[in-house]
Structure 1
């Protein structure tokens, strides 16, 4: 009787113990199922023995599908096939479009008799990657915007300087031009008077006087002077007019504070850019123009001047030997097309997709900020246009700009 009672008590104790174990097991499972990370208990062969419900939300697998499979099958081939798998690493799951981080916790030296030899956790880092990417893009955008603002401030300063220079230069240039014009008229009158005197001397039929006059004219090279003085005055007037044009182009080119839209002749814009950049271009390249009949473009001419100048100077700088820069304009449907091509060194294929990125440059350190083409791209985009590039190493580069003829068809440009 007493033995039976002891057996019953032990049985009750065992039932209570099993109940506690079962409760602990359920609490453990409930606790793990509350965790967003995948928690895997694996045996010596890497087979999954226990796993929480996060496997479904993270990897799209049911617990039944996961149990018994090799947890390393969740890794990409470049990791799962490694002989010595790192204890923690990060990888991109192309199938699910997620960035995941795994960590292995081995049971080394454990005295517990269990098939479980390691715990593996999987953490989803996708949100962090997206935030980092967004922050990087925002930082790059802010940095580019700040640099563009600095660039615009520099251009505005140049514009103010050019306005002052224009005022100071135009005044003396004005009276030089006026005086040269008057000098031309005076020279014409002197030539008329010399001709009149020659006619009078000839009528006198005095051989001695006529010979003396001719000898004196020959000594003074008066015939040459009479012919050359008009050419000198004409060339000087042309030079004064060029000074006036250059100053006006610089003033117009640098007036970035003028954000108004107006119909502009793109041929004049291209010629203005060539005039401003001629010192950089003329020693490197010969300019070939193929201007076709195109309509005026509703645009911000000053900003397009910047685009054209940047492309022309870049083309010249790309030439290791004297070459040719070709400028072509035409219309294609509802677009005005401007093509600027060179026969320089060309651009490496791996760089072509990045040349419009802010701060990307293939120039030597100190020779380029990497902002020129980025600003060009931004300006053309604001004009609702397109800018593309085709290049072949050793053959040259061709930039194509397309601008809408009609603002109504392509939306009104929003240039600021």
Structure 2
């Protein structure tokens, strides 16, 4: 956060604080002014009625200022309104001094009390406090001059004047350091808030990294399994294929169409097993790292692999595609297969869960500005608008508990981002959902 932003934020918070404090201080002033009736009774019972009326009038005026503090302009003019209600009791006290013993009136203490309170308790600015202190002193001097006895005894007047001026100076010093302390506290709060925000970002990144590590570990386990399957399954599959080839060359097979058809079916089944194990190995052997190695591969081949690997989930779903003649792209084939698997699986699950009639997925692929643009669209229930902006968030999922971690689309987004592209979602609720991304051309 820049110094200007920090200062602007501090001024805004200080304005709110001063406004709230001014209201509270005004309520306190009303109570203290009215309680002063006891002082009038103890010191000047003969003036009690006049002083009591003065206290009521001043309390009502302060209440009027409080009402203004609650208005739209209250925040804007809060410092001036605060100075106004503070001066009202000072004016009353000055009048009481002129009506009692002048220089030696005990009400002089009230002036001092208000000056100290403004510096210690109220969130005044330095200049405001100095103005308030000087005005309070001028009111005292005017009260003494208006008294029949004038400023006599002069020594008492000088001492009282110095005490009032000392109080104003001390109040200004208190205000200055209070202001600094408040600013330092605000800056500390701002720094803590900024650090907390940074920690929150770091925590989110750690959660994302943890999720990707879990995915990588799962892929590594699948890779180990695939390697074992490839070794263990390919040998017997090859033996079966050799045996089928030999059997197909036998005269009995050629003379018996039914037997030849069975052998062709068996051969195609064995070849399918080879393809599935090979696809699984390609998908599982994903290399970790943020950078794409840049290996050319045919996107059409990756699409075929992803459809074969999700064949059990796509059962009953019509899968169509529209491809250009050339689909040679640059990137991580295994990672792109993973993205496609995730998109096909999510679409199939959503359509099955919604009971979509005649479920279908159509993949459109076309070139634009040396990038291959891919769009996978289904005719399922679509994505709710409130979820559309969150589908790429880590751990966000609309699946039932235990059906997924909510990491697939987040990791897919990162994969496409590593290829210099962007994965984004579109949907019309109740009609369709589509995910699009782009890959670089292999030069």
TM-score range, shorter chain: 0.5 to 0.7
Please list every run of 5 or more consecutive structure 2 residues that lacks an aligned counterpart in the other structure. Answer: 1-148
Which residue number in structure 2 is paired with residue 288 of structure 1? 320
Which residue number in structure 2 is paired with residue 248 of structure 1? 278
- With over 3 angstroms needed to count, the CA separation of the structure-2 counterparts of 1:156 and 1:123, relative to structure 1, is closer
Secondary structure, aligned partner of 1:278: coil
**2:390 counterpart (334, 338, 354):** 354
Measured after TM superposition, the shift of residue 126 of structure 1 is 4.4
Tell me if the contact between 1:292 and 1:328 (Cα under 8 Å) persists in the aligned partners: no
Which residue number in structure 1 is paired with residue 9 of structure 2? none
**2:199 counterpart (121, 135, 139):** 135
Which residue number in structure 1 is paired with residue 127 of structure 2? none
Tell me if the contact between 1:170 and 1:244 (Cα under 8 Å) persists in the aligned partners: yes
Which residue number in structure 2 is paired with residue 175 of structure 1? 239
**1:18-67 CA distances to partner (integer Å, 9 max, x unpaired)?**
23222322222222232334xxxxxxxxxxxxxxxx9xxxxxxxxxxxxx
**1:144 counterpart (208, 211, 217):** 208
**1:150-204 CA distances to partner (integer Å, 9 max, x unpaired)?**
1011101101111101111111111111111111122x2x478xxxxxxxxxxxx
Please list every run of 5 or more consecutive structure 1 residues that lacks an aligned counterpart in the other structure. Answer: 38-53, 55-120, 193-222, 408-416
Which residue number in structure 2 is paired with residue 105 of structure 1? none
Which residue number in structure 1 is paired with residue 49 of structure 2? none
Residue 378 (structure 2) pairs with residue 338 (structure 1):
no
Which residue number in structure 2 is paired with residue 29 of structure 1? 175
Which residue number in structure 1 is paired with residue 161 of structure 2? 15
CA distance in 2, matches of 1:126, 1:391: 41
CA distance in 1, matches of 2:245, 2:198: 65
Measured after TM superposition, the shift of residue 124 of structure 1 is 8.6
Which residue number in structure 1 is paired with residue 305 of structure 2? 272
Residue 299 (structure 2) pairs with residue 235 (structure 1):
no
Secondary structure, aligned partner of 2:366: strand
Which residue number in structure 1 is paired with residue 287 of structure 2? 257
**2:336 counterpart (304, 318, 331):** 304
Measured after TM superposition, the shift of residue 134 of structure 1 is 2.1
Moved more, 330-339 or 14-23: 14-23
CA distance in 2, matches of 1:290, 1:10: 103
CA distance in 1, matches of 2:431, 2:307: 23
CA distance in 1, matches of 2:246, 2:187: 88
Which residue number in structure 2 is paired with residue 205 of structure 1? none
Measured after TM superposition, the shift of residue 123 of structure 1 is 8.5
CA distance in 2, matches of 1:402, 1:393: 24
Which residue number in structure 2 is paired with residue 315 of structure 1? 347
Tell me if the contact between 1:390 and 1:397 (Cα under 8 Å) persists in the aligned partners: yes
Which residue number in structure 1 is paired with residue 434 of structure 2? 398
Secondary structure, aligned partner of 1:280: coil
Tell me if the contact between 2:364 and 2:375 (Cα under 8 Å) persists in the aligned partners: yes
Pairs within 5 Å for 1:29-178: 29-37=175-183, 125-178=189-242
CA distance in 2, matches of 1:191, 1:22: 117
- With over 3 angstroms needed to count, the CA separation of the structure-2 counterparts of 1:315 and 1:36, relative to structure 1, is same
TM-score norm. by structure 2 comes to 0.61
Tell me if the contact between 1:261 and 1:298 (Cα under 8 Å) persists in the aligned partners: yes
Measured after TM superposition, the shift of residue 406 of structure 1 is 5.6
Tell me if the contact between 1:303 and 1:379 (Cα under 8 Å) persists in the aligned partners: yes
RMSD: 2.6
Aligned residues, how many?
288
Moved more, 13-22 or 326-335: 13-22
Greater strand content: 1
CA distance in 2, matches of 1:246, 1:27: 83
Tell me if the contact between 1:293 and 1:330 (Cα under 8 Å) persists in the aligned partners: no
